[in-house]
Amino acid sequence: MPYVGQKPADIISTAVDTVTGTFSGEVDAASLDISGNIDVDGTTNLDVVDIDGVLTQDGGAVFNEASADVDFRVESNGNANMLFVDGGNDKIGVGTASPDEVLHIHSDSITRLKITGSSGQGEDNGIKIFQNGVNTSIANGDNGYMRFYTNNAEQVRIHSNGVLSASDGIALGVGTANTASNVISDYEEGEYVVTATPSAGGTITLHDGFNTASYTKIGRLVHVSGLLNVDSVSSPSGFVGLNLPFTPANLGERSADSAGSIYITGSASNFVRDYVATVNEGDARIFIQLGDGTSGVNDSAQQIQANANFVFSMSYHTA
C-alpha cells in the first residue's frame, strides 16, 4: 500500500530491508530523483519495461551487447517498422521488417532516399533516389532513376535502363577538374540516309535499298561508313558530294580537314584507284574527286552511271 504522507527518502528506507539489502513493498516515485546506479538483479528476465513519458539518456547506451539473436524495432506514428534491426541476419530495415540487404529502405512515397546539403543550400544539394516516374522533371519517360545534385542543379543521372547522363560531360584522366580537352560531352550512334549530289548539275539517284550509312560520334569525333548503290543518273557533272550527319568543325588553318577511303566500282571508264575522298572543314559533305592528276579533279560525277557502287569510310571532327 502507498506510504501516505512520507517523503521519498522515508519511503525507500521503509521499502528496503537494511539488513538483507532486498526490496519489498511499493515506492511512490512521483518526486523521486535517483542520481546513482540502478541494478536490477536476481531475475533471469525483465520482460517488460513500459515508459509512457519522455526518456532522456545523456550518457552512452549499448543494446544487445551480448549479441543475442533478437530484433530491435522503433515505431513511428504511421509505420510499425520505421527502424528495424534484424539481430539474427545483421541487417537494418527502414520502413520494413524484412530487410533484404545490410541497409534496406522501403517507402511508398515517390522519394525513397534523399541526402541533402547543409541548411540554407536548398534541397537540391545531394542525392535523390526516386521510386517511380510520376515527377514531371523526368526525362525520356523513365520509370525510375537516380539523380545527383550539386550547386542546386542536377549534374548526373542514372536512368532505369542503366544509361548515365551528365550535364557537363564526363571528364577522363584529369581527376576532379572539368578540363574541356578531357571531357566527352556526347556519344551517339545510328544510321542516316545518304544523298549523292553532282556539284555542277544533273542527278545521281541512289537505290532505296542501298542509300543508308552508319555513324558513331564520340565527343567531337565522327566516323561514317557504308555501301551505296546507284539506281539511275541524269547527266551528272562536277564532283560528287555525299552528305554527312554532322557538320565538320571550323578550327582554323584547315586543321579540321580530313581524308578517307573510297572504293567505286562500275564507273564509266576510270579505275577504282582514281577516286579520292576528302572532307573540308565547315562543309557537311564528302568530296569525291578524280585523283589521276597532280591534284584532285572535279569531274568524278561524269564517271558515275547506274549500278555503280560506292564503299566509303571517313573520320572527321565536328564542332
Whether 223 and 281 have beta carbons less than 8 Å apart is answered as no
pLDDT (0 to 100) of residue 144: 63
236 and 123 within one domain:
no
208 and 147 within one domain:
no
Q: What are phi and psi of 158, to 5 degrees?
A: -105, 115
Contacts of 209 (CB under 8 A, 6+ apart): 229
- The domain boundary, picked from 150, 185, 220, lies at 185
> Which residues constitute the domain of residue 17?
1-33
Q: Quick check: is 46 in a domain?
A: no
Q: Quick check: is 41 in a domain?
A: no
Closest CA to 238 of 194, 287, 184, 295: 287
205 and 126 within one domain:
no
C-alpha cell of residue 56 = 532522456
Tens of pLDDT, residue by residue over 75-109, are 999 899 999 999 999 999 999 999 999 999 888 77
Q: Quick check: is 123 in a domain?
A: yes
Closest CA to 277 of 190, 194, 217: 194
Q: Quick check: is 293 in a domain?
A: yes
203 and 304 within one domain:
yes
226 and 302 within one domain:
yes
Whether 212 and 179 have beta carbons less than 8 Å apart is answered as no
155 and 130 within one domain:
yes
The Cα–Cα gap between 319 and 221 comes to 9
Contacts of 34 (CB under 8 A, 6+ apart): none
- Which residue in the block uniquely carries the three cell numbers 532513376? 145
Q: Quick check: is 75 in a domain?
A: no
- If one counts every other C-beta atom within 10 angstroms of the C-beta of residue 290, the result is 19
268 and 299 within one domain:
yes
Whole-angstrom CA distances from 29 to 8, 21, 33, 41, 103 are 7, 19, 8, 20, 41
Tens of pLDDT, residue by residue over 268-283, are 999 999 999 999 999 9
Q: Quick check: is 309 in a domain?
A: yes
- The domain boundary, picked from 185, 212, 236, lies at 185
Whether 15 and 23 have beta carbons less than 8 Å apart is answered as yes
pLDDT (0 to 100) of residue 139: 36
pLDDT (0 to 100) of residue 53: 79
195 and 311 within one domain:
yes
218 and 131 within one domain:
no
Q: Quick check: is 260 in a domain?
A: yes
CATH label of the domain that carries residue 290: 2.60.90
198 and 175 within one domain:
no
Q: Bridge partners of 217?
A: 188, 222
Q: Quick check: is 68 in a domain?
A: no
pLDDT (0 to 100) of residue 172: 74
Whether 287 and 314 have beta carbons less than 8 Å apart is answered as no
313 and 272 within one domain:
yes
Contacts of 242 (CB under 8 A, 6+ apart): 194, 195, 196, 228, 285, 286, 288, 310, 312
Q: In total, how many domains does the chain have? A: 3
Q: Is 268 left (phi over 0), alpha (psi -120 to 50) or beta?
A: alpha
The single-letter code of the amino acid at 176 is: T
Whether 262 and 270 have beta carbons less than 8 Å apart is answered as no
SS3 of 8, please? helix
With a cut of 70, list the residues of the chain below it in pLDDT: 1-49, 110-112, 115-144, 151-152, 174-179
- The domain boundary, picked from 128, 157, 185, lies at 185
252 and 237 within one domain:
yes
The Cα–Cα gap between 41 and 17 comes to 16
pLDDT (0 to 100) of residue 142: 45
